[in-house]
Amino acid sequence: MSVDMSAEKMTKVEETLQRAVALKKLVNRWRNSHTHCMWQMTLSQRRNLYATLRMQDAMEQELALSNRQLLMVQGNTGMGRHPETEKER
């Protein structure tokens, strides 16, 4: 029975690791997107105001989507939760 528990624990650890890796990839994509948006904004500002306004709108939409995805992944992984409050549930 202790062998089964060990296998179960290993499976849970592996699943948690996979979720953590997925979260890290998502955070990296969000960071890259944010950096790209900021670069585009400064580039657009040098060109014209209309381009800046269009880019700002696109950036806001993209960042809002990225933030929602990040919150969904973070909620699914259980990251950001305090272990003491988890015991009470």
Distance of alpha carbon 86 from alpha carbon 79, whole angstroms: 11
- Asked if residue 77 has pLDDT above 80, the reply is no
Tokens read off for 57: 């709108």
10 Å Cβ neighbour count for 66? 19
Distance of alpha carbon 60 from alpha carbon 45, whole angstroms: 16
- Asked if residue 80 has pLDDT above 60, the reply is no
- Asked if residue 89 has pLDDT above 50, the reply is no
Cβ-count burial of 41 within 10 angstroms (0-12 exposed, 13-18 middle, 19+ buried)? middle
- Tens of pLDDT along 29-40? 888 888 887 787
pLDDT at 32: 87
Question: What is the average pLDDT score of the chain?
Answer: 76
